Structure formats: C-alpha cells, structure tokens
Amino acid sequence: MKRVPLGILGSGKGSNCRAIFESIKSGALAAEVRVVISDVFDAPILDIAREFSVPNAYLPPGRFHTRLEPQAEADLLRMLREAGVELVVLAGFMRILKSPMLEAFTRRIVNIHPSLLPKFPGLEAWKQALVAGEKMTGCTVHYVDEQIDHGDIIAQSEVPILPNDTPESLHARIQIAEHELYPTAIGQICRKLSAG
C-alpha cells in the first residue's frame, strides 16, 4: 500500500509526534514523515525528528503570538510542498493557520486536541474540563478550519476524570489516549487518501 507523505508541525515536547513515528516503525501506520517543522527553535519535537532521522526545520514565526506572519506561512507552504507532503499533521502546534495553508491543503490538515470537542477549545483544555466539574473528558482528532480547535471531527476517545485528579495527572492520562487515537485516526485518513 502507498505510504502517505506526512508533514508534522509542533511547538512543544512532541509526544504525539513520537507516537506517530513509533506506529510507522511498527508497521501499523502506512505513512512516511517527510518533514517535522516547529515554530519554536529549541522545541523537543525537533530532537525527536533527529532521533528518528527525519528531516526537520525551525520556522521563524514572525512577530505575532497566535499565528504565523504571512511570510512565515508562505515559507511553511513552500517547505511542505518541496517535501511532497500530502497530509499535514498538527501535533501540539500552537498557532492558527490562515487561508494560504487552508486553501492549499483543504481537508488535508488534521489536529489533535485534549478535550471532547466542541467542549473546551483553546489552551489547557484538561484544566478547563476539571474547573467545569466534568466527569468525563478526552481527546479529539479533527480536520482544521479557520477557527481554533474547530472543524469536522474524525475520532474521539473518552477519558474519565477521577476524584483526585490534578491538572497534571489528568493531562497525562489524556496524552496516553492521544498516543493511541492519533496514529489510528491518521491511518484511517491515509487509507482514504490512498484509495483516492
């Protein structure tokens, strides 16, 4: 089966990126990571790419905090195209993508978010769920559109909130669920893309 070429974008520790690499290595996920790109110079996600000998790059984001400067987004698009990427995977990428990227990769950008969307988009979603007194939260894989943590839902996994949970313990359990859900959901999308 065709290995779908992925580009992974992330800003942080990269545990989801590692889960994707490991799923590919084990043969469970028929994909190939062509490039890992981060808007954070020293993000651990770039070290993980190096560990797996995958091309990687730092993308200077420009002067905005929540999105890329237009030139940076144009550079990102060029890098992804040069690498032959067909599916863009956001793995803890903390900036909103705008029209050049969304138009170039329509329904070909996916994200994972640590809540049961549409509940709790935005930062530290596990903390939001805890503060709201929820009994259940989880994680969601979805197509990316122009709104934050919004777009058609591809897959979800539930994680119960325990009476003694702290934000840290809850996020740790959600991440275990993410590492299972994301490679599986990407596998489903890759099968669809390969089937044309």
Q: Where are the alpha helices (DSSP H) in the chain?
A: 15-25, 44-51, 70-82, 99-104, 125-131, 167-195
Query: What torsion do the CA atoms of 88, 94, 96, 102 make, to the nearest 10 degrees?
Result: 0
Smallest distance from the beta carbon of 82 to ligand GAR, in angstroms?
A: 24
Two structure tokens written together for 132? 């709201």
* 171 Ramachandran zone, left/alpha/beta (phi>0; psi -120 to 50): alpha
Q: Provide, rounded to whole angstroms, the least separation between the CB of residue 115 and ligand GAR.
A: 8
x-or-dash string of contact with ligand GAR, 91-130, rule CB under 6 A: xx-------------------xxx----------x-----
Is 75 a residue that touches ligand GAR (CB under 6 A)? Answer: no
The answer to whether 86 contacts ligand GAR (rule: CB under 6 A) is: no
> Six-digit token pair at 27?
């043969």
- 113 classed as catalytic: yes
Binding mask 10-49 for ligand GAR (x = CB under 6 A): x-xxxxx---------------------------------
Site for ligand GAR contains 140 (CB under 6 A): no
φ, ψ (nearest 5 deg) of residue 27: 90, 0
Q: Which residues are catalytic?
A: 113
